[in-house]
Chains A and B, each alone.
Chain A
C-alpha cells in the first residue's frame, strides 16, 4: 500500500468514525439520561440534514444566519421527539415500549421528511470549494485529502470535547445526569427532571443535526441517511456501553476498520465491522471501557 493511499484511507476512516462517534455519543447521553436506546438516532441526523438543506438551498441563508436558525430547529426537533416518543411512555409497564416507539419514530421521521421535502435526494455544496466551485482537496504529497472530511474530523472532535467537558467536568452536566438518573431525588431537591431530560434531548438533537449538516455534502441529503446509525451502534458496543470515551474510541475504530477493509473485503465491508463486534461481544462483552450507567434508585 502506498503512503498516499494509506493516508487517504486513514483520513476517510477517521472522518467516518467521527460521524459514528457523534451519533454514538448521543446514544450514550440518552441511555444515561433516560435509559433508552434510541433507534431513531440516525433519522434525527437525516432530519437535521434536510433542515440545513432547506435553509441553505430553499431560503439561501448565509452561514451566520443558518447556524442559529438551524440550532433552533434542531432543539425544537429534540423537544418534539422527547414529548411524543419518550414522555408518554416513560412509565410504561414494559420499558421496551419506548424502544419500540423509537423504531416507529424512525419510520415516521423518514416518511415525514419525504412528505415535506419529496423523495428526490438533495445535493449540498461542500464547505470548502476551489476556484472553479468544485470541492477543494488538500494535497499532501501525492495524497488528495478532501477538505470536507478534514472539517468533519475537526468539528467532530470539537463537539466531542465540549460535550465531554459538559457532562464529565462541569457541575451543571453532572447535575443533569444525576437528575436524569434519579428523578425522584432530583425532584425532592427542587430540580425538575423534565428540564434536565429535555436539555439532554435538545443536546442530542443538536449534535445529530450538526452531524447531518457535515455529512450531507458528501452523502447527499436522503431519507436513507439514517442507516449510518448501525455502525454507531457497533462502535458504542465495542467501546463499552455507557462510556462516552469508549463510544468515541469504538466508533473511530469502526470507521478505520471499515475504511481499510475495503482493500481486502470490499463486498464484505459490513461483515468485517460486525465480525469485529461479535468478537468483542464474545471476548470482551463490556467493551473497551466500562460504562458509567448505574441502576436507577
Chain B
C-alpha cells in the first residue's frame, strides 16, 4: 500500500511539474550576458540594468519559435551591451512564457506590465495574441512591439503598440503584383491557414489580386484549420482545376508539410509557379521539406542573409553564436530588430525610466535594421520593404527587394 501511495504521489508530482512547466512564469533569457554592471550614467533602474520584456513560447507547441525569439533577443542584447548599453546602462531581457494559447499569452504580457522595472515589451509572434494583450498595454502605458504582421494590430490604433514587420497589407499587395506582373499568372489557387494572421493575409492578397483585375472565385480558395496535417485533398483539387499558380499562406511547420505533400502529389514548380508566404523560405521549412521546398517563391519579410549589410552581419553573428542553426529564421531577426528599436527609442528619449517618453520617442526612430530600413509610419509600423525570394538548391535566395513606401 505504501508503495502505491508513493507511485501515486510521484504521478501527482509529475503532473504538477508539467502544469508548472506549461505555466512557466518569468525567467531570464540570459540577458545579463556580458553585463558589465552600471556605468554610472543615466538613471539606475535595477542594479544598473534596464529591462525589456519578451513574451514568447518557452513551452508548448510553438516553443521552437520561442527558442529562436530568445536567441535573437540575446544576440541583440549582447551587441548593445558590448557597445556600451543604453544611456550608460546594460540591457536585460525578461522572458515570460505564453505557451501556445491566447490566455497564457495575455497573462504573460500582464505579468511583464506589472513589473515597474520593465520599460518596453516585445510581444508575441502571433497577431491574435497581440490584439488580445493590447488593452492591458494601453492601460499600463507600456511601449509594446507586436511581432505579428496582421494589419488588424494596426487597425486597433493603440498608441502604445508598434510593429517592426511589414504588415500583411503590404505583403498581399507585393505578392499579388509579383504573381500577376512578373510570373504572369491569371488564375491562381489560394491555400491558406485560417489562423488570424494568415486569414488576414489571404484577405489582403485576394483584394490585391482583384485590384490587379483577376477574378478570384470561392472555388479557388482553400482554407484550412491551423492544426491541419492533411493537405492532400486541397492539392488534389488544385491539380484537378485549371489553375496556373499556387499561392500558399501558412506557418513554418505547416509550410514544410505543404511542400512535401505538394511534391508527393506530383505537383512541381515546372507545372505552375508555387508561391508562399514568408514561412516558405524559413529554416524550418527548408530543413524539413528538403528538396520539396526547392522552386518555391516567397514574398518574405526575412530572407536569411537578407538584402542589406545589417542583415548580412546579423546572419553571420547569429549562425556563429548558434552553430546548430544553419540559417536564421523570422522570429530571431524580428525580435533582434525589436530590441534595437526599443533601445534606439530609449536613446532618443534620453531616459531608461519613463515609459511615456520612450513611447513618444518611437516616432523618431529611423535606422537600417536587418529586416529592412526602419522608419516611422502613421500606422505605427516601421518596416519599409519586402524581399522576393526563391528556394534554390536548399538555399533561400533573394531575387529582389521591394520597397513599398
| Interface of A toward B, CB cutoff 8 Å | 2, 4-5, 8-9, 12-13, 16, 83-85, 87-89, 101, 104, 107-108, 110-111, 114, 118-123, 126, 134-135, 137, 144, 146, 148-149, 215, 218-220, 222-225, 227-228, 258-260, 262-263, 266-267, 269-270
Contact = CB atoms under 8 A, between A and B. Distances in A.
Given A8-B236, A111-B21, A218-B232, 9 more contacts: A5-B237, A13-B233, A107-B18, A108-B14, A126-B264, A218-B261, A218-B264, A220-B288, A267-B194
A147 to B, nearest CB: 9
A234 to B, nearest CB: 14
A148 B230 CA distance: 13
B63 interface: yes
A9 B18 contact: no
B240 A262 contact: no
Contact of A135 (B15, B227, B229, B263): B263
Contact of A146 (B11, B22, B232, B234): B232
Contact of B11 (A88, A118, A123, A227): A88
Interface in B1-37: 4, 7-8, 11, 14-15, 18-19, 21-22
Contact of A219 (B11, B22, B229, B266): B229
A123 B223 contact: no
B224 to A, nearest CB: 6
B370 interface: no
28 contacts: A87-B7, A88-B8, A101-B11, A104-B15, A104-B18, A107-B19, A108-B18, A110-B61, A111-B18, A111-B59, A120-B64, A120-B284, A120-B287, A121-B253, A123-B256, A126-B264, A146-B264, A219-B230, A220-B260, A220-B288, A222-B253, A225-B229, A228-B229, A260-B233, A263-B233, A266-B221, A266-B223, A269-B225
A13 B7 CA distance: 43
A146 B222 contact: no
B277 to A, nearest CB: 17
B386 to A, nearest CB: 26
Contacts of A83: 7
Given A111-B21, A219-B257, A266 B222 contact: yes
B395 to A, nearest CB: 17
B236 A224 contact: no
Contacts of A258: 230, 233
A69 to B, nearest CB: 24
Nearest to A270: B225
Given A16-B230, A134-B263, A218-B264, A144 B239 contact: yes
A266 B219 CA distance: 10
Contacts of A224: 61, 227, 253
Contact of B253 (A134, A144, A220, A267): A220
A121 B256 contact: yes
B67 interface: yes
At the interface, is chain B mostly helix, strand, loop or mixed?
Answer: helix
Contacts of B265: 137, 144, 146
B288 to A, nearest CB: 5
Contacts of A215: 229
Nearest to A132: B291
A155 to B, nearest CB: 17
Q: Which 3 A-B pairs have the closest CB atoms?
A: A267-B223, A119-B64, A135-B264
Nearest to A105: B15
Contact of B240 (A2, A88, A122, A266): A2
A202 B230 CA distance: 28
A228 B21 CA distance: 24
A123 B290 contact: yes
Contacts of A270: 225
B253 A12 contact: no
Nearest to A83: B7
Give the interface residue-count category, chain B. 35 or more
Nearest to B287: A120
Contacts of B263: 134-135
Given A4-B240, A89-B8, A123 B67 contact: no
Interface string B382-395: 00000000000000
Contact of A220 (B21, B224, B256): B256
Nearest to A9: B233
A85 B63 contact: no
Contacts of A126: 264
A219 B232 CA distance: 10
A262 B257 contact: no
Nearest to A146: B264
Nearest to B283: A120
B8 A218 contact: no
A1 B292 CA distance: 28
B299 interface: no
B201 interface: no
Interface string B277-288: 000000010011
A149 B18 CA distance: 35
Nearest to A90: B4
A119 B63 contact: yes
Contact of A123 (B22, B221, B289): B289
A89 B227 contact: no
A129 B260 CA distance: 13
B15 A262 contact: no
Nearest to B235: A8
Nearest to A268: B223
A262 B21 contact: no
Nearest to B4: A88
B8 A122 contact: no
B298 to A, nearest CB: 18
A114 B236 CA distance: 33
B288 A123 contact: yes
A8 B21 CA distance: 43
A90 B256 CA distance: 42
B63 A262 contact: no
A109 to B, nearest CB: 10
Nearest to B61: A224
Nearest to B236: A8
Contacts of B18: 104, 107-108, 111
A88 to B, nearest CB: 4
A152 to B, nearest CB: 11
Contacts of B230: 12, 16, 218-219, 258-259
